A and B are shown apart, each in its own frame.
Chain A
Amino acid sequence: MRRLLNVRPRMSGRIMLGAAPLAGALLLYLLASQERHAANPSDKLLPTFAAMIDAAKLMTQVNPNTGEIPFIADTLSSLHLLGVGLLAATAISLFLGLILGLLPIIRASLGPLVAAIAVIPPIAVLPILFISLGLGDTAKIALIIIGITPVIVRDLASHVAAIPEEQIIKAQTLGASTWQIAMRVALPQAMPRLIASLRLSLCPAWVYLISAEAIASDVGLGYRIFLVRRYLSMDIILPYVLWISLLAVAMDIGLSSLSKRLYPWAHKERGA
């Protein structure tokens, strides 16, 4: 008898094994939904797939009052805020992470501040942002930036600081200046880590966006699900949650393949 930890599924088997829990969950939902509808045909908690498709159709039609398709408007608005927030957070993190990791003077002066900011729960800052920046897009983008930047900065700084000292010394014996070491030794080695860190920050970024939209907004994916919650419209909420998950997965895969394409050396160490 082979040990359990030595049993490795083949490719086809792996797909089957991966799909089974998903299919199981779907089946469970179907059965539960059917049961509830048998007892109460107007049940709202576990809508049938037909009801969800109807709701989805409704959301993708032009709203005569606003002239917009709610689903498209929500998606564009959320992706815009998320995109701007992620982009700004990435730029700030890259800059701070590099100088914190590379320069002992900066680490001594800014390190404690970054560490202090990192422990503040971002949602607790949200009221301050709403008061100081207003209820518009700025506050929501600021929340995303404040929420994810400190974590990425600290991760990146410790990664840059962990570049073997031998490499830094070696670069100096090649005549490299601080700037040339930052640009050619630290920056390229920080990039794959930045992308990895950004991937892990996608989920918190969504959390902050949806929280901010839920509290003060008139459009957006988070706004919509919290709006229809008042009517127990699970038939809208569930497809929206599914859509948000799909967007998040697409971003994650996109970042991962970007890293593999731009920095192949960072993904070769194992099994090369």
Chain B
Amino acid sequence: MSDALVFDKIWKEYDDKIVLEDVSLSIAEGAFVSLIGPSGAGKSTFLRLVLGQEAPSRGQITFFGKPLRAEPGPDRGVVFQKYSVFPHMSALDNVVYALDCEGSPILSRLIGPSRKRARDQAKDMLAAVGLQDSMNVYPAQMSGGMQQRVAIAQALVKKPKLLLLDEPFGALDPGIRLDMHGLITDLWR
């Protein structure tokens, strides 16, 4: 298996505070990697660098053989701990929006047969995360676990090469957290 993500001597400094110091690692394609450490260890900074939200101070990040662009893009999906879904869209619209962006640059909304196709694709994705009965519900009416399921479906429908999860189940209660771990493991396989 080839290396998907390579960190080559990465430094990240904020003013004179060093957060990441000479980090080198490579992650194989298809791998499931967990990053653990005490708070302040630089987990979130690492995630922001992979996401492209920030650029490293020194060093080179390579993503599938190419230098990583320091801007978030559709090849790297993400699920945050919270605020990951759009509160003004139903579960279905949240997932359809991901497809709208690709197919409708000006109108920002698919119409006609392509809309129908996008909706079908989104419905399949929501069913895969167990939300077949909550397609038209708004996030505010959902439990935390359901919201995270929407966020996962929304990220996966773009078929990203890399899915980043930033403490996605941190705000959930232990029973649901176990379910979600099962869900993620299943989707990964």
Residues of A at under 8 Å CB distance from B? Answer: 164, 166-167, 169-177, 179-180, 183-185, 188-189, 263-266, 268-269, 272
Chain A binding surface, main DSSP class: helix
Given that A169-B53, A266-B88, A272-B140 are known contacts, is A174 also in contact with B101, CB under 8 Å in the complex? yes
Residues of B within 8 Å of A174, CB to CB, are 74, 97-98, 101, 154-155, 158
What mask results when residues 97 to 108 of chain B are scored 1 for a CB within 8 Å of chain A, else 0? 110111001101
Across-interface contacts of B106 in A (CB, < 8 A):
179
Main secondary structure of the interface of B (DSSP, over half): loop
Q: Which of A166, A175, A185, A266 contacts B73 (CB 8 A)?
A: A175
Docked complex Cα distance between A172 and B154 (Å): 12
Chain A residue nearest in CB terms to B158: A174
Give the residues in chain A near B77, CB-CB below 8 Å: 173
Which residues on the A side are within 8 Å of B108 (C-beta)? 176, 179-180, 183-184
B87 to A173, Cβ gap below 8 A?
no
Interface membership of B9, Cβ < 8 A: no
- B88 engages A164 (CB within 8 Å): no
Any A CB within 8 A of the CB of B120: no
> Contacting chain A: which of B35-43, B57-65, B78-86?
B78-86
4 further interface pairs, Cβ-Cβ under 8 Å (given A173-B78, A180-B108, A269-B140): A172-B73, A173-B72, A173-B76, A189-B88
Determine whether the beta carbon of B141 is less than 8 Å from that of A166. no
The answer to whether B177 has its CB under 8 Å from any CB of chain A is no
- Contact for B155 among A173, A185, A265, A266, CB less than 8 A: A173
B141, chain A: closest CB distance, angstroms? 5
CB neighbours (8 Å) of B138 from chain A are: 264-265, 268
